[in-house]
């Protein structure tokens, strides 16, 4: 095992977003590739917006995608004593100070700075204050250096530098005693030994402030990689108006986790022209340096194409298990009908999602379905009745009730009756499925089984007779 340690640190203020899932995936892949540890941390210091429901949704999303964590989940809300200890340490070492400025005073100075064309940052009023004001509330600010440059080599974006004079004396503890995000994230990453931080590029501007905190605390600075955001088709940031943005919404829409993983990793990362990767291949081939600098555009059609591929390639037994809740949603009891893996096998080539597969499977389980009007008028005609009855009789006594045996019987039946498959096939389809769009006849007959197939053929004969 290596000493490489990566983390995913979501805020539990909603579901696991597609962008967050991709960040988690990149961290997980690098940890697995380098034989390191993947740590899960829940950043729940925003007490007003953080909910247990959101935590559960995030954990569920991670589990569905197969992103298992080695340590955690750790909760920031349980680590407040640790943060206070580090605030006191910085105060004692003169690297932080108490700021007694009121919000009104700060706003007034900010407005004055803007009127005078200056950057509206904290003016350092309390930076060198020595006297205490015991009855006044205070924040704690980090005493940042105002000279020099803070720079880092981003693993995706390259060299990024900030002039320290542009940086504020960051508030690390609010007047109510709660710590701030930029402070706690450094304490957590430092004390948890995180060696590489992969996160969204909306954090680039936080990085110099965090680097200065690492240095002040005497901790090694991790490597940083800032991943470009994900855009919708209109090139604006991916949001609800582009469709589903929750990972679990895609599960509920009938997508497979491996399709989602494959799709997310390709939103920004590539390996030659290869489109489809097994999980093992992703771990072997992934590198953070190969992630592009420009934003990825979310393409639902590409995700559908990938999902169709994985549905076609999946074992029918596995898909059958995943299909059960979709069928139950449609009022179908999968136990009261043909064997589900057989049904799945007939639908894999035609289904892009499990929702499409569940809709396509309904005719197998609903015996009293109505025939499509146009299809019945065209194919369930008087001359079809004797053919359907004769076919039912032959299927009743068929010894080899497999696709091969069924196909052989149909060929023999057509030759014997002097008709073409086109003259009898559509009528059989309508009789068995309710319409002419269905999986292959031989597959359907095998899946329905002898008794149900014969019953449906004779029901169609009775329908024709009126």
Token code pair at residue 191: 């004390």
| Annotated active-site residue in 240, 345, 411, 420 | 240
312 catalytic per annotation = no
Give yes or no for a cis peptide into 268 (omega within 30° of 0). no
CA atoms within 13 A on the CB side of 148: 6
CB 140, CB 87: distance < 8 Å: yes
Residues 6+ apart with CB under 8 A from 68: 28, 38, 62
Phi and psi, residue 141, nearest 5°: -110, 145
- Angle, nearest 10°, between helix axes 403-417 and 384-396? 140
Residues 6+ apart with CB under 8 A from 375: 426, 430, 434, 435, 436
Alpha-carbon separation of residue 179 from 291, 336, 343, 449 (angstroms)? 33, 58, 57, 66
Triad 246, 248, 254: Cα angle to 5°: 115
The residues annotated as belonging to the active site are: 240
């Amino acid at each position: 095992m290596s000493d490489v340690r990566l983390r995913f640190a979501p805020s539990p203020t909603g579901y696991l977003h597609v962008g967050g899932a991709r960040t988690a995936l990149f961290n997980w892949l690098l940890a697995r590739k380098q034989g390191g540890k993947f740590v899960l941390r829940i950043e729940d210091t925003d007490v007003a917006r953080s909910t247990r429901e959101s935590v559960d949704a995030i954990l569920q999303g991670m589990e569905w995608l197969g992103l298992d964590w080695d340590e955690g989940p750790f909760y920031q809300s349980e680590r407040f004593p640790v943060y206070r200890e580090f605030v006191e340490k910085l105060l004692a070492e003169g690297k932080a100070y108490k700021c007694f400025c009121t919000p009104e005073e700060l706003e007034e100075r900010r407005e004055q700075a803007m009127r005078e064309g200056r950057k509206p940052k904290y003016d350092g009023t309390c930076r060198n204050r020595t006297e205490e004001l015991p009855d006044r509330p205070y924040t704690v600010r980090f005493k940042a250096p105002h000279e020099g440059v803070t720079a880092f080599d981003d693993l995706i974006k390259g060299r990024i530098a900030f002039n320290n004079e542009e940086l504020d004396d960051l508030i690390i503890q609010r007047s109510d005693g709660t710590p701030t995000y930029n402070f706690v994230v450094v304490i957590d990453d430092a004390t948890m030994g995180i060696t590489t931080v992969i996160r969204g590029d909306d954090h680039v501007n936080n990085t110099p402030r965090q680097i200065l905190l690492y240095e002040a605390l005497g901790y090694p600075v991790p490597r940083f990689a800032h991943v470009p955001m994900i855009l919708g088709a209109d090139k604006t940031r991916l949001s609800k108006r582009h469709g589903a943005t929750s990972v679990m919404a895609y599960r509920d829409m009938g997508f497979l986790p491996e399709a989602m993983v494959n799709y997310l990793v390709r939103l920004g990362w590539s390996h030659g022209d290869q489109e489809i990767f097994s999980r093992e291949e992703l771990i072997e081939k992934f590198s953070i340096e190969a992630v592009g600098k420009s934003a990825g555009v979310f393409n639902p059609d590409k995700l559908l194409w990938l999902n169709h591929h994985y549905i076609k390639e999946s074992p029918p037994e596995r898909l059958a298990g995943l299909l059960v809740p979709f069928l139950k949603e449609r009022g179908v009891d999968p136990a009261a009908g043909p064997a589900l893996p057989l049904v799945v096998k007939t639908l894999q080539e035609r289904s892009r999602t499990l929702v499409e597969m569940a809709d396509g499977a309904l005719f197998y389980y609903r015996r009293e379905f109505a025939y499509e009007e146009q299809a019945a008028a065209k194919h369930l005609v008087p001359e079809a009745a004797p053919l359907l009855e004769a076919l039912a009789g032959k299927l009743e006594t068929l010894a080899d009730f497999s696709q091969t045996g069924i196909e052989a019987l149909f060929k023999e039946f057509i030759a014997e009756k002097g008709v073409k498959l086109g003259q009898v096939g559509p009528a059989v389809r309508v009789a068995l499925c309710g319409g002419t769009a269905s999986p292959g006849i031989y597959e359907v007959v095998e899946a329905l089984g002898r008794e149900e197939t014969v019953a449906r053929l004779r029901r169609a004969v009775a329908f024709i007779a009126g």
